[in-house]
Copies of this chain bind each other. A is one copy, B any other.
């Protein structure tokens, strides 16, 4: 499917403000709400959006510790990878994970209440996955979604 400039503008707008109403998007693009609505529906139908996420203020929710846990597995068969991913999805505290090429197989971004919870996360929840070879934890001072995709270049 071909995207024109208007489509790209819609994607770009919603990327950083996913709760904009159709009317607001239309006003921004300077087209009629009905037109905008059709485009938005089409983009959704065609699968251009993977999800719409609310980025919560974790501090206000008592989540004061954020870390990246880097994990190396002993084996890399697809089956083991898949079952590890399934496991990750169920673990409370997981915010995002990356399956990587290279020395580290997985990087998991987790958020917990305090260092006790972190300890429990790693020792009780993670380390008992039998194929884990190595775990390394690094604290996050600050993280930010930038969402500055190169396809939106022409708008600057």
State the CA gap A1–B61 with chains docked (Å). Answer: 10
Query: Which residue of B52, B61, B92, B93 contacts A19 across the interface (Cβ within 8 Å)?
Result: B52
Chain A facing B: main interface SS: mixed
User: A146 interface residue, CB < 8 Å from B?
Assistant: yes
Contact mask for chain A residues 90-104; partner B; CB cutoff 8 A; 1 contact, 0 none: 111111111111111
Report how many residues on chain A are interfacial, defined by Cβ distance under 8 Å.
67
The quantity of this chain's copies bound in the complex is: 2
Chain B residues, Cβ within 8 Å of A48: 56-57, 60-61
A42 → chain B closest CB, angstroms:
13
Query: Which residue of B50, B56, B139 contacts A55 across the interface (Cβ within 8 Å)?
Result: B50
A97 → chain B closest CB, angstroms:
6
Which of the listed residues A47, A117, A141 has the most CB atoms from chain B within 10 Å of its own CB?
A141
